[in-house]
Structure 1
């Protein structure tokens, strides 16, 4: 194999990582996404396995360090450096596979499957992984967004990756003047598959309606610290709910069927007697309807639960949803029995948050409700299983106060809107101080509250038990792309090894003269 110079490949990878970052919020230029993915393929072209892995790592570093730069200011530079480094490594690991996969016919297909598998793995490992940065999450407000109802987040990421790699292959064909028409047709075909659902979006039949009130109470003080005055946070939500009840009684707003509070609307155990518990009871009694409270619930001396609790005005607290994906080193310390840090911000995590496993929808005012708490919305194993188990309406309870001065809230809201399209459900988002909103099944935002304000949104929303194709497919796209990737890696490794054996060691140049062979005894001159 003739090796390309490494420096231009590194530069192209850095450009590609920057283009991919620009595809997401805050710039939100999704038309750059295929170009960024294409740069990844072109940068790793004609490189050895090790060099390709290095170039892929450069791409990952540029992309991920900039994509979650909000973590540096909100959580801390140490957490930002650690998480970004781990996630960037996955793009380097994918780079190691590129020379192998490029040995196969129609390599864009196999590389797109491998990219999708890489996203799946890093979204769940190590610990609970980090889904931020999946290609699908950049598709909101584009003609490709409706496709998520047909193929799900995983399928949409695959199609977007395939479009980028076909574009790269088309560029190579144009340079070599071979196969241009075929790869042009392939690229157009993939783009057609992506945008066709925009012409024929999948519609889910509604079986009824309900009226939900979504409360954003706001956070006192600097606005980015729930614990600065956690009782004040709860009081804000109590007072807003009481005003809502007065407005409903006066006919100024419709009377809701239930009220949704955000995550950390109570930062202490809401079941313990005290001002927080009393405030909740006061608000629920005034509303006269169930309130879904977001609270931190004690679970012994060493653990805590992050829960959404259905609080009924008659029977009191009932059904609960527990957050599935607590944040490592943010809400729990992995392997605490081996390493128990007592320094910096880690020292504040005195108890580990347990993970929930519930997929059965909550029952709220006669509605089967699929709930998610904060980062849960980005994981495929939270909302989709609840929808398949009968959820008629979706809610997200989130506390984005730590990120309120960053672009994290915009990225999370974009993911949330895609979840509504994927499930074909109305979705209500309650945040402590932003972004709060009500989202239609087509991803449109029908109501929203200004960040860092106290607001109540009252909206009639539709209910449905029907399933989109994406919900019917469930985890099968992930399994399919994983199998395709494994099969392609085995086949590509065989082809790669055979090619290396065929190439053999470096041969002498054509102008280099071979030494004359020594004469045999019969050829020796006669003296």
Structure 2
């Protein structure tokens, strides 16, 4: 008979209390933390997209401060590392669609790396902004640090790329008159102060529930707009140096694309033809000056007799001095020049483009980038100019900035302050097709008109050409990829704006004030950590 003896007792082990599973205890908060970070990341991308949607050709300028209000909520009381991360995502939401034109014919090899680099340079000031949010009145210091970030992007890398300046998205609306007082940095400061003040207002009402402490955030949000309205009288429009009748010629190109240079004779012929046609249309009406675009003659008229004869024929027909863009070949390399051609005389002056476009007119680190793509050898080897030449065209003293140069504050300022009373922007946007690039550049031209109190004449090979008055109003403009000629009587102004008289001082004052606030915030944070008194509101999820 098998089995245990009948007298055996069944031994039952005593119940041991079970410890709660540590993993289950921590999994839910970690999951919530990851979800929070993911939602904040999406919000950062969306905030950057709002700023992009404020940029022309859309007139929705007011979306920019809304985007910065969202950014303020994301950066408040975060660590610098989190500020950099959210700021970079904000930058991607802004820069990727803004710079899509850079890849229209070459693909993402130029567009996406440039956008990522610019986004990282947006993330850098956002890291600093996160640090200063623990200071009283942080929205003021944050706005100053944003200006510092824009200044950084205007100088690095490869000579800077200031295309994404906030001011260039504000040719409409209430911030525009501030350009006459402090240029593009003052507009950037005003836009971001409004946005950060609005973000702090929302935070106090909905998050901290401190409705009685709203006065200062309200003032921060509203005063920049009020300042823009108050600055309207500073925008001079009177013709203190007389008036001239000017024409902008848009000859058009046979087709858009990177093979623009292969069409150079056809492009020159188009501008000659449209100028001769305009001469016939005008009859007895007399022009004072004519502006042709950048690259209107990519055949050097000093070396090619046929090109020189065609230009001379057009100038004789229109019977007015003509400034036109040309590629001029010298022993040490080609120049992207603007030549002044007088009727019956010929070429009398020349302006050489000073701020060359990297990866287009020049190729930095050519050997290195050739490792990734042979297309780098399509970039030019142009030699930059070194003088802010002003053309004397009758009563007009014409300052010149060529295409890409209009994005650079210092280049435009130097040209305008060299005794000018009119500003001309010959440009070539044919290589960017039907993208928004030309409208973004036109917005820059409008900002420059107000900033320097000058009429701006924009002549583009394929559009958009325009006449812009000193208050930023566009009186005439062309379409894309169509031959056209704009003729208008415009004011000449020699008076300087406050922005011109102050020069770089407003910008660098804001930069140093923002950096001083950052240093103070870092010192205070170090003292708090050494005392074991970390802020109670610090975000543990970054």
Distance 1:19 1:28 in 2: 13
- Maintained 8 Å contact 2:235/2:453: no
Equivalent in the alignment of 2:272: 238
Equivalent in the alignment of 1:184: 218
Quote the offset at 1:216 in angstroms.
Answer: 0.5
5+ residue gaps, structure 1 = 508-527
1:408 corresponds to which of 434, 437, 449? 437
Equivalent in the alignment of 2:514: 485
Equivalent in the alignment of 2:336: 306
Equivalent in the alignment of 2:491: 462
Q: After the TM superposition, which residues 116-135 of structure 1 pair with which residues of structure 2 at under 5 Å, given as runs?
A: 116-135=147-166
2:480 corresponds to 1:446: no
Q: CA separation of 1:17/1:310 partners in 2, compared to 1, >3 Å: closer, same or farther?
A: same
- Maintained 8 Å contact 1:221/1:228: no
Superimposed CA distance per residue, residues 132-153 of structure 1 (whole angstroms, 9 cap, x where no aligned partner): 1211111112122122112211
Distance 1:505 1:282 in 2: 77
Distance 1:506 1:67 in 2: 38
1:497 corresponds to which of 496, 502, 526? 526
- Maintained 8 Å contact 1:359/1:385: yes
Quote the offset at 1:491 in angstroms.
Answer: 0.9
Superimposed CA distance per residue, residues 172-216 of structure 1 (whole angstroms, 9 cap, x where no aligned partner): 221323312332233222321133224774445522111111110
Equivalent in the alignment of 1:378: 407
The 3-state SS of whatever aligns with 1:111 is helix
Larger Rg: 2
- Maintained 8 Å contact 2:261/2:298: yes
Superimposed CA distance per residue, residues 428-455 of structure 1 (whole angstroms, 9 cap, x where no aligned partner): 1100110011111111111222222111
The 3-state SS of whatever aligns with 1:30 is coil
Q: After the TM superposition, which residues 156-305 of structure 1 pair with which residues of structure 2 at under 5 Å, given as runs?
A: 156-174=187-205, 175-178=207-210, 179-198=213-232, 201-222=235-256, 225-248=259-282, 250-251=283-284, 254-300=285-331, 303-305=333-335
Superposition TM-score, scaled by structure 2 size: 0.87
Distance 2:458 2:199 in 1: 39
The 3-state SS of whatever aligns with 1:132 is helix
- Maintained 8 Å contact 2:401/2:415: no
Distance 2:499 2:234 in 1: 15
Q: CA separation of 1:479/1:390 partners in 2, compared to 1, >3 Å: closer, same or farther?
A: same
Quote the offset at 1:341 in angstroms.
Answer: 6.5
Distance 2:468 2:258 in 1: 25
Distance 2:410 2:430 in 1: 25
The 3-state SS of whatever aligns with 2:163 is coil
The 3-state SS of whatever aligns with 1:143 is coil
- Maintained 8 Å contact 2:244/2:395: no
5+ residue gaps, structure 2 = 1-31, 537-542
Quote the offset at 1:371 in angstroms.
Answer: 0.7
The Cα RMSD (Å) is 2.3
Superimposed CA distance per residue, residues 88-109 of structure 1 (whole angstroms, 9 cap, x where no aligned partner): 1112112221232123221111
Moved more, 103-112 or 19-28: 19-28
